Structure 1
């Protein structure tokens, strides 16, 4: 009996017309209920009253459609809120200067803009300043020197295109030239020897030298001997052109740790046409049969 009653509750799952299904379950419930009442009528007096409570009650399910639900009643809009705000705005009378006290909204106050920054916002840290380049050291210009010291000539820090001429040099005097740049120096006379040290783009022209001229630590210099000099020594120099006269063509060159060396000399006696030849920088060294070292100029200079 209870089983039949519980099955009647499944009418919600019946498609289209649930009423016939409910009626069949109710009939089954009545059938089993009547059998129980007849059998236990004299034994249990309270069963008839219990049965009445088991009878199904409820609304009509004849027109029920699965999945359909009665539309809920639309809720009335709540009083107040944004409706009141917009209503208040519309009611403002803009005539007679009543809105003159309202603050104008500028571009920087419009929150939808990318450049908007609220008050109290942490400012974006500025990019670190680029490191300053080290200042170019100021070149100290030393005073030019051209004087005779202890019987020798001292020429230092000469600059400029104006030629410097030193005359009256004798064969007992040494001439020391140091730290000149972009200068032209003329030596008149016959010096004992000449030292040309740490000069740049400087021209040196001299008459004669008893022993030698030494070119040391120079760059881009030119040296011309108008007479005779037995030896030219070139050391730690980059870029050197030596002019030799026809009389001084038997000069010898001693070089070390230098590059871009050239010598120019006349094509013949009394000729003003000079031939320029490179002084070799590359050599080929061999061990001979007697276990000594032989050195020959590289074939690069054979032409």
Structure 2
């Protein structure tokens, strides 16, 4: 049934997405072929799980390598085609395709699929905004992709609720239990964590509760010699529980943004892409002699500053913390994704600034860039600084809070930003 359910997914929602991709053609169709390969590979993996027992962790990594390679190929296609007219389409797929990694997630793979589906929403919204008045096929394409991942989430929830189900047959099957009498009774169970109970656990618990008065039939009667108010000596034993000291050091929370800088720094050019990764405390990063179709990609850097000279296609800061970028002119956009405390300054022209899942972003504009379009999503502490005649800057916060009201008569919703009064 698990295999049939996945085949239904591929013959229905996946085919709809593939057909619309072929209608749009170009990079979208080529990208869709890679997506189809990834789903085909996942089907083979599910068929394997239905024919054998669960492998060891090391073996599972090897078995999943092919699926991982397919996902990487989809994301690399996006990176190699940043100048494409359909870059937002490619990004929507690339950001959400890790949903196929649910086969390695336990015990809640279905919410993971939804999380990846939501991750691509930033770019599907861009596609809808750009194409809803031009070509409805692009709108249908977005809906088909979102529906495909929604159906994948429902499939996982139905057939693999707590993780990919292995049949328990074939290689690595556990040996049968040894003959003999009944095993000794298990030790007493710890206190029950109701929040983490499975559905079966809760059902068993409720069945016990529903016994009514009969549930107390197995309880032992408390006699007078067991009552502490009649026997004060019973209170002299050790305290059953001692509260933890309030002075105990709290465990440090993980630092968002850059994460652990456990890899050597990188500054290299790969074709049209300049790759700057894992730089720490470097304020002299400079990209020179770049061409107009080049893209600068800055990943997991901390306390660093980047200068880009000349006119290039775009700049991306991904998972950076306390970093700054200064550039002359961009053809498309500068993007901040999963960043903390970042700044940018444009000396010439930039058409678009994109901010996604970023906390703390200062945008310094030039006179040439006053017509810039700023798109923000799931971000906070964003400010736009506009140059004044005296050389100073006027600061304007980007709204983070919105008010939505129902139209009268009820025909839809109207959303407006709530201005800061602080």
TM-score, normalising length: structure 1: 0.52
Tell me how far 1:134 sits from its aligned partner.
9.1
- Rounded to whole Å, the distance in 2 between the matches of 1:140 and 1:234 is 23
Determine helix, strand or coil for the equivalent of 2:420: helix
Matched, 1:252 2:373: yes
Distance 1:172 1:288, change over 3 A: same
Tell me how far 1:161 sits from its aligned partner.
4.4
CA distances 1:61-84 after superposition (whole Å, capped 9, x unpaired): xxxxxxxxxxxxxxxxxxxxxxxx
Equivalent in the alignment of 1:147: 268
Determine helix, strand or coil for the equivalent of 2:369: coil
Determine helix, strand or coil for the equivalent of 2:302: coil
Determine helix, strand or coil for the equivalent of 1:247: helix
Alignment of 1:1-303 (within 5 A): 141-268=262-389, 271-289=390-408, 291-300=411-420
Distance 1:134 1:257, change over 3 A: closer
- Rounded to whole Å, the distance in 1 between the matches of 2:304 and 2:323 is 5
Distance 1:299 1:172, change over 3 A: closer
- Rounded to whole Å, the distance in 2 between the matches of 1:216 and 1:289 is 38
TM-align CA RMSD: 2.9
Tell me how far 1:261 sits from its aligned partner.
0.6
Distance 1:296 1:135, change over 3 A: closer
Distance 1:198 1:288, change over 3 A: same
Q: Which has the higher contact order (CA 8 A, sep 6+)?
A: 2
Distance 1:282 1:162, change over 3 A: closer
Distance 1:140 1:295, change over 3 A: closer
Instruction: Determine if contact 2:339/2:358 at 8 Å carries over to the other structure.
Output: yes
Instruction: Report which of the two has the higher share of helix.
Output: 2
Tell me how far 1:140 sits from its aligned partner.
5.3
- Rounded to whole Å, the distance in 1 between the matches of 2:296 and 2:285 is 14
* Residues paired across the two proteins, number: 171
Distance 1:294 1:135, change over 3 A: closer
- Rounded to whole Å, the distance in 1 between the matches of 2:252 and 2:378 is 33
Distance 1:162 1:297, change over 3 A: closer
- Rounded to whole Å, the distance in 1 between the matches of 2:253 and 2:320 is 22
Instruction: Determine if contact 2:295/2:315 at 8 Å carries over to the other structure.
Output: yes
CA distances 1:112-169 after superposition (whole Å, capped 9, x unpaired): xxxxxxxxxxxxxxxxxxx9x99999x5531111111122111111122431111112
TM-score, normalising length: structure 2: 0.38
Instruction: Determine if contact 2:261/2:278 at 8 Å carries over to the other structure.
Output: no
Distance 1:173 1:135, change over 3 A: closer
- Unpaired runs of 5+ residues, structure 2, are 1-247, 255-259
Q: Which has the larger radius of gyration?
A: 1
Tell me how far 1:264 sits from its aligned partner.
0.4
Instruction: Determine if contact 2:261/2:300 at 8 Å carries over to the other structure.
Output: no
- Rounded to whole Å, the distance in 2 between the matches of 1:140 and 1:296 is 40
- Unpaired runs of 5+ residues, structure 1, are 1-130
